[in-house]
């Protein structure tokens, strides 16, 4: 109440009643808020760093991640090997840098697919209504009933990989199962966004004027639904990275000789007592990556929904 | 209930010791040079800048103004429900029966809310807790302030609901806020506010969210209760039409100050401030059909940057250079009439 | 209300069938010989293979296989594992363990999560708020197997506060005590989510008009926050705890693996490793049934907590 009393006079531009203008000013308001938050810049910077690591690990290290120096097995961090060496005598720093690729690839691709599939199904369900909606909603329920990690474990063990399976195929398998089990949350979100917007006068008016469904979706539904979808997708990206690592840790995702944080953590277990650095660095990078995406999602949500701050 | 005619007659029934607060010569509330500011990221918003007024037993004062004029903030400052921070009260006094509420220990002050001073809000749906039955919410007053047990306090709640003319009160006492219509919800708010027979009732835009026909019913209920209990009533509104029949005096607020104060009929007949005149001109009137409605041009000032001189000067047609430099004090311009305009006499002449 | 529950139970049936069929298909449609590894290093005798195929209707089309399996399941026949132990017996034993583990985790996330969330919410922007926000973010971002492994190493191996692994034969209080650390690990991520959710909702509700009304009614601060605001803030938290139950079951597989707990999670995992489809499908079916029932319970509770939701 008190806030309303102030802002009513403080910012007359808020009075813009036209829906398109509202959405526009919401986005620019959000951006203005976002720019001021250090947490946004920190997470965005971290994400950029991890993306770079995934694309061009050579920028960060000249050491080959597969150059084993067995006699220096489990060497502790030194000026030469910043993160030390693991059981096989590999340079942990190099392996941690190269390990980013698997996690980032899984996270980005799985998010891309879940968001596209989820948004498409959600829009169709919300827009079409009737039996289409019922059917999609029931299918959503079915997939929602299978916990992500459980489904992932089942899927990966069904389509088990062996030594000859290429790195890329394994990564795509993980992406596939995450996409298969991850879309329902986006579908539900999108569907309810559509249902929220659909009864509004301006959408009804657009329909009455004969605007094509695609046009209505693009102009009226997407701008309103985008913010929550982006937030959930960003946070999910972090979750997917964690799931990939968990699957590798359990030995059914990526397996050696593939390089990934999950594999490294799994391997580090055997020598934790004598060489904790073997666990520390991959776990730290993994957590930082997850953290960066969750923080970014949080910051974006706060920016779009300032009252929760 | 109808036999009770003296103010605070319910006290005997409410099984309470006589209040330690007794009005002197009927004087209930004195707001004295009150300032309120909000410290926000965008700067300090000066919401109230030296407001003074009195309220007597049985008197109805209407505070009129646009949103952002400080009228609601004034009410909340009196009630002591401003969030501090961001709000800050750098100066002023709010005396209730001679006791300064602002310097009172918080617990003592809390105990005045309900039994002494009470408040109803604009949006009854959001102002009632959605997860508790309405009867429970009314009864909470008796349980927490009077220590009555559950069944006794629920009985009282039913009687209050009957008093504010809620049909089938006994059956509906366990219903939830969303199961009532807007008008009925506001009646429940009123029942809750008058439960402990307060001496002062503040109604903040009590009818703004309601249909016109329901507005009239709620206003007449408030008037009836006020006369029955001789409450001092502060009616906060942006709509002159709503309060005209009920209020005794009107204080017009602009940018955190009272710019005009007079009896209702005087203000209606002859406004004494250009802002009041602007407000009156923007109301459609049956007796002046065919004339163009003139709204006040411009926007209310940004409270972080209130213009120098008279705050209204950028929107005032009569503004002179003196208005841009000198702040006009609220002064008596005619017996019983006060205005804060350098040219009040001219305005009065029309 | 009864009508609503019945309707919801009926709605659950297609979901349960759909989800279990997916699982069934995944497990039994897998390429490869289902009797591989069952007779040691050598291939199984043809007789055994025939018996196995008959018992599991492996020669029927998949939907028929599934229907026959579910028919047996409905009669309480879960089949036998490749070690010839009835799945039903082992499941009922292991469910007790996992139920205990989940109980500890849920109690932990509810009590500590709400407590931390309230603390942060009422001190918004202050030190304690930032501490809660930061530490929860930290916990959320560390994968559960890292938390579990580090907790086991530090609290179990190094400082010897908790038992390192779980003894399947422990009884009474001991059986709870040894599950405490795994339970805390399992609940750790959810604790963080519950705390953040409670905080967000409380902060929002503290600004609500009805909280202003509660203040204007002259109620004490503790009643205004602790009853009026918190009661409303906890509604989404309850929903979250229900929805999160699925993640908890997934996490149980990892946690049971780390601490060597003889629960359902470990059972499923070893079933997967041994390619014992009967075990996997049976255990997962029950898991999903429990998950769906918990969600139904939460939905009903939601209606009780929020009178605006109508179940009629």
Q: Does A13 touch chain B (CB under 8 A)?
A: no
With respect to residue A11, please indicate whether it lies within any of the assigned structural domains.
no
Sign of CA dihedral B316, B321, B327, B333: negative
The distance in angstroms from the start CA to the end CA of chain A is: 17
pLDDT in tens, B13-52: 444 556 777 777 788 888 988 999 888 877 888 888 888 8
Helices (H), A11-91: 19-35, 38-55
Residue to mutate among C124, C125, C203, C210, with most B CBs inside 10 A, is C210
Contacts of C42 (CB under 8 A, 6+ apart): none
Q: What average pLDDT is seen over chain B?
A: 82
* Residues facing residue A298 across a β-bridge: none
CA distance C241 to A88: 43
pLDDT at C312: 57
For residues A45-49, give the mean pLDDT. Answer: 90
The third-level CATH classification (topology) of the domain covering C88-269+281-305 is: MetI-like fold (1.10.3720)
Whether B251 has a pLDDT exceeding 80, the answer reads yes
Q: Decide the pairing of beta strands B249-254 and B60-64.
A: parallel
Q: Which domains does chain B have, with CATH numbers?
A: 3-27+57-79+101-247 (3.40.50.300), 271-350 (no CATH)
Contact A221, A189 (CB under 8 A): no
Share of chain A above pLDDT 70, in %: 79
Q: Please report residues of A whose CB lies closer than 8 A to that of C242.
A: none
pLDDT reported for residue A112: 92
Query: For residues B41 and A66, what is the distance between their CA atoms, to the nearest angstrom?
Result: 53
Residue A10's pLDDT is what?
34
- Average of per-residue pLDDT across B207-231: 83
Q: Which of C98, C94, C75 is nearest to C85 (CA)?
A: C94
Q: pLDDT per residue over A198-220, tens digit each?
A: 777 777 777 777 777 777 777 77
Phi-psi region of C160 (alpha: psi -120 to 50; beta: other; left: phi over 0): left
Is A6 close to B45, i.e. CB distance below 8 A?
Answer: yes
Which pLDDT does position C108 carry in this prediction?
A: 92
With bands split at pLDDT 50, 70 and 90, how would you rate the model's confidence at C112? very high
Q: Which helix (H) or strand (E) holds C159?
A: none
Q: Spell out which residues of chain C touch residue B118, defining contact as CB-CB under 8 Å.
A: 216
Over range C96-123, report the average pLDDT: 89
**From A173-187, B277-291, C30-44, the region with the lowest mean pLDDT:** C30-44
| Cβ proximity of A224 and A197 under 8 Å | yes
Residue A117 · residue A179 · CB < 8 Å? yes
Q: Mean of the per-residue pLDDT values for chain A?
A: 76
CB-CB under 8 Å, C250 with A148? yes
Distance CA C258, CA A246 (A): 12
pLDDT digit string, tens, across residues A141-188: 888 888 888 888 888 877 776 667 777 888 888 888 888 888 888 888
Q: Cβ separation of A10 and B303 shorter than 8 Å? A: yes
Residue pair B204/B236 in contact (Cβ under 8 Å)? The answer is yes
- CATH of residue A293's domain is 1.10.3720.10
- Residue range C208-236, pLDDT digits in tens: 889 989 988 888 888 888 888 888 888 88
> What would the pLDDT profile of C3-20 be if each residue is shown by its tens digit?
888 888 888 888 888 888
A225 is a domain residue = yes
Least confident of A4-8, C37-41, C75-79: A4-8
- Closest residue in chain A to residue C284, using alpha carbons only: A150
The most distant pair of C-alpha atoms in chain B lies apart, rounded to whole Å, by: 67
Instruction: Of B58, B62, B55, B7, give the one whose Cα is nearest residue B207.
Output: B62
Nearest to C217 among B126, B141, B176 (CB): B141
From B112, which residue of chain C is nearest by alpha-carbon distance? Answer: C218
- C-alpha A283/C-alpha C285 separation (Å) is 33
Higher-confidence residue of B28 and B296: namely B28
Cβ distance B50 to B35 under 8 Å? Answer: yes
Residue range A278-294: mean pLDDT, rounded: 85
A8: closest CA of chain B, how far (Å) = 6
Which residues does C contribute to its contact with B (CB < 8 Å)?
A: 208-210, 212-220, 223, 228, 231-232, 235, 305-308
CB contact under 8 A, C23 and A146: yes
pLDDT at C239 over 50: yes
Please report the pLDDT score of residue C115 as a whole number: 93
pLDDT at C30: 58
Q: What is the mean pLDDT of residues C170-179?
A: 73
C200 and chain A in contact, CB less than 8 A: yes
Q: Residue B24 has what pLDDT?
A: 78
> Is the pLDDT confidence value at A52 over 70?
yes
Domain that holds residue A246: 80-87+100-265+276-309
Lowest mean pLDDT among A11-15, A148-152, B100-104, C240-244: A11-15
Nearest to A307 among C19, C204, C268 (CB): C204
Q: In degrees, to the nearest 5, what angle opens at C-alpha B224 toward C-alphas B219 and B225?
A: 100
The domain ranges of chain C are 2-74, 88-269+281-305
Q: Are strands B200-204 and C38-41 parallel, antiparallel or unpaired?
A: unpaired
| Residue partners of A256: CB distance under 8 A and separation at least 6 | A263, A267
What number of C-beta contacts closer than 8 Å exist between A and C?
129
**Residue A137 domain-assigned (yes or no):** yes
Rounded to the nearest integer, the mean pLDDT of chain C is 81
What is the pLDDT, as a whole number, of residue B227? 86
Is the pLDDT at C203 greater than 80, yes or no? yes
pLDDT per residue over B127-172, tens digit each?
888 888 998 999 998 888 888 888 888 988 898 888 888 888 888 8
Most confident of A63-77, C45-59, C297-311: C297-311
Q: Is the pLDDT of residue A256 over 80?
A: no
The dihedral sign for the CA sequence A126, A130, A135, A137: positive
Cβ count near C291 (within 10 Å)? 23
- Three-state SS at B50: strand
Average pLDDT over residues B68-87: 86
> How many domains, chain A?
1
With pLDDT > 70 as the criterion, what percentage of chain C qualifies? 91
Rounded to a whole number of angstroms, the distance from the CA of C218 to the nearest CA of chain B is: 4
**Segment A86-141, tens digit of pLDDT:** 667 677 788 888 888 888 888 899 999 999 999 888 888 888 778 888 888 888 88
| Domain-located, residue A43 | no
pLDDT band of C116, cuts 50, 70, 90 = very high
Q: Which chain B residue has its CA at the smallest distance from C234's CA?
A: B131
Could you tell me the pLDDT band of residue A18, with boundaries at 50, 70 and 90? very low
For the record, the structure tokens of B92 come out as 């002023």
Q: CB A1 to CB B72 under 8 A?
A: yes
Residue B10 has pLDDT above 80, yes or no: no
């Amino acid at each position: 109440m008190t806030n309303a009393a102030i802002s009513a006079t403080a910012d007359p531009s808020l009075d813009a009643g036209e829906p398109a203008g509202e959405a526009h000013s919401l986005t620019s308001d959000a951006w203005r808020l976002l720019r001021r938050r250090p947490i946004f810049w920190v997470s965005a910077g971290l994400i950029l760093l991890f993306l770079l690591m995934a694309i061009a690990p050579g920028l960060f290290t000249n050491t080959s991640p597969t150059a084993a120096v067995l006699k220096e097995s489990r060497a502790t961090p030194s000026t030469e090997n910043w993160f030390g060496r693991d059981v096989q005598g590999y340079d942990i720093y190099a392996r941690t840098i190269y390990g980013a690729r698997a996690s980032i690839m899984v996270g980005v691709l799985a998010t891309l697919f879940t968001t596209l599939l989820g948004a498409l199904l959600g829009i169709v369900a919300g827009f079409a209504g009737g039996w289409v909606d019922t059917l999609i909603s029931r299918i959503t329920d079915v997939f929602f009933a299978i916990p992500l990690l459980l489904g992932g474990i089942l899927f990966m063990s069904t389509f088990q990989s062996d030594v000859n399976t290429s790195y890329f195929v394994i990564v795509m398998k993980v992406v596939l199962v995450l996409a298969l089990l991850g879309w329902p949350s986006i579908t539900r979100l999108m569907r309810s966004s559509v249902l929220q917007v659909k009864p509004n006068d301006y959408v009804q008016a657009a329909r009455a004027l004969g605007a094509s469904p695609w046009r209505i979706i693009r102009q009226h539904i997407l701008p309103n639904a985008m913010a929550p979808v982006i937030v959930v997708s960003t946070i999910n990206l972090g979750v997917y990275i964690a799931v990939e690592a968990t699957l590798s840790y359990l030995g059914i995702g990526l397996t050696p000789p593939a390089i990934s944080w999950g594999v490294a953590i799994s391997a580090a277990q055997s020598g934790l007592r004598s060489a904790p650095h073997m666990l520390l660095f991959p776990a730290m990078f993994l957590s930082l990556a997850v953290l960066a995406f969750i923080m970014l999602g949080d910051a974006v949500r706060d920016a779009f929904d300032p009252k929760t701050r | 209930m109808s036999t009770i005619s003296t103010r605070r007659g319910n006290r005997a029934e409410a099984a309470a010791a006589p209040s330690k607060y007794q009005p002197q010569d009927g004087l209930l509330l004195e707001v004295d040079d009150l300032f309120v500011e909000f410290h926000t990221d965008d700067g300090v918003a000066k919401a109230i800048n030296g407001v003074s007024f009195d309220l007597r037993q049985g008197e109805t004062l209407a505070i009129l103004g646009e949103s952002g004029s400080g009228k609601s903030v004034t009410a909340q400052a009196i009630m002591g429900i401003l969030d501090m921070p961001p709000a800050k009260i750098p100066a002023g006094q709010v005396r209730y029966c001679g006791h300064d509420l602002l310097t009172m220990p918080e617990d003592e002050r809390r105990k005045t809310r309900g039994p002494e001073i009470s408040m109803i809000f604009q949006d009854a749906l959001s102002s009632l807790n959605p997860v508790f039955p309405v009867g429970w919410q009314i009864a909470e007053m008796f349980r927490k302030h009077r220590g009555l047990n559950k069944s006794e306090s629920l009985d009282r709640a039913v009687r209050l609901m009957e008093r504010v003319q809620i049909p089938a009160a006994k059956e509906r006492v366990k219903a939830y806020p969303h199961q009532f219509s807007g008008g009925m919800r506001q009646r429940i708010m009123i029942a809750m506010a008058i439960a402990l027979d307060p001496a002062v009732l503040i109604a903040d835009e009590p009818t703004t969210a309601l249909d016109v026909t329901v507005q009239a019913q709620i206003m007449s209920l408030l008037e009836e209760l006020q006369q029955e209990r001789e409450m001092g009533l502060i009616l906060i509104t942006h709509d002159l039409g709503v309060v005209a029949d009920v209020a005794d005096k009107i204080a017009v607020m602009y940018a955190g100050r009272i710019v005009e104060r007079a009896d209702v009929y005087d203000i209606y007949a002859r406004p004494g401030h250009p802002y009041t005149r602007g407000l009156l001109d923007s109301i459609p009137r049956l007796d002046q059909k065919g004339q163009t409605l003139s709204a006040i041009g411009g926007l209310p000032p940004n409270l972080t940057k209130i213009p120098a001189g008279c705050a209204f000067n950028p929107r005032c047609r009569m503004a002179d250079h003196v208005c841009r430099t000198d702040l006009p004090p609220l002064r008596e311009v005619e017996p019983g009439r006060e205005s804060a305009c350098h040219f009040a006499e001219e305005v009065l002449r029309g | 209300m009864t009508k609503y529950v019945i309707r919801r139970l009926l709605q659950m049936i297609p979901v349960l069938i759909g989800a279990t069929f997916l699982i069934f298909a995944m497990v039994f449609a897998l390429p490869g010989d289902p009797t591989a590894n069952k007779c040691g290093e050598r291939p199984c005798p043809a007789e055994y293979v025939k018996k196995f195929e008959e018992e599991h209707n492996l020669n029927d089309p998949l939907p028929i296989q599934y229907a026959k399996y579910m028919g047996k399941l409905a009669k309480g026949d879960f089949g036998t594992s490749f070690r010839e132990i009835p799945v039903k017996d082992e499941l009922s034993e292991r469910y007790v363990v996992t139920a205990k583990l989940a109980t500890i985790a849920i109690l932990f996330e509810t009590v500590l999560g709400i407590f931390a969330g309230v603390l942060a919410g009422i001190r918004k922007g202050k030190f304690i708020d930032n501490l809660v926000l930061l530490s929860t973010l930290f916990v959320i971002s560390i994968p559960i197997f890292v938390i579990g492994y580090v907790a086991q190493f530090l609290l179990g191996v190094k400082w010897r506060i908790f038992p390192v692994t779980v003894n399947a034969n422990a009884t009474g209080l001991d059986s709870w005590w040894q599950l405490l650390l795994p339970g805390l690990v399992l609940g750790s991520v959810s604790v963080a989510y519950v705390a953040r959710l409670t905080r967000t909702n409380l902060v929002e509700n503290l600004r609500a008009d009805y909280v202003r009304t509660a203040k204007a009614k002259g109620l004490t601060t503790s009643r205004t926050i602790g009853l009026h605001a918190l009661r409303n803030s906890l509604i989404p938290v309850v929903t979250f705890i229900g929805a999160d139950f699925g993640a908890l079951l997934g996490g149980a597989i990892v946690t049971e693996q780390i601490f060597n707990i003889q629960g359902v999670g470990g059972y499923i995992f070893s079933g997967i490793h041994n390619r014992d489809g009967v075990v996997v499908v049976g255990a997962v079916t029950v898991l999903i049934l429990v998950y769906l029932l918990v969600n139904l319970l939460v939905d009903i509770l939601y209606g009780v907590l929020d009178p605006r939701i109508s179940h009629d």
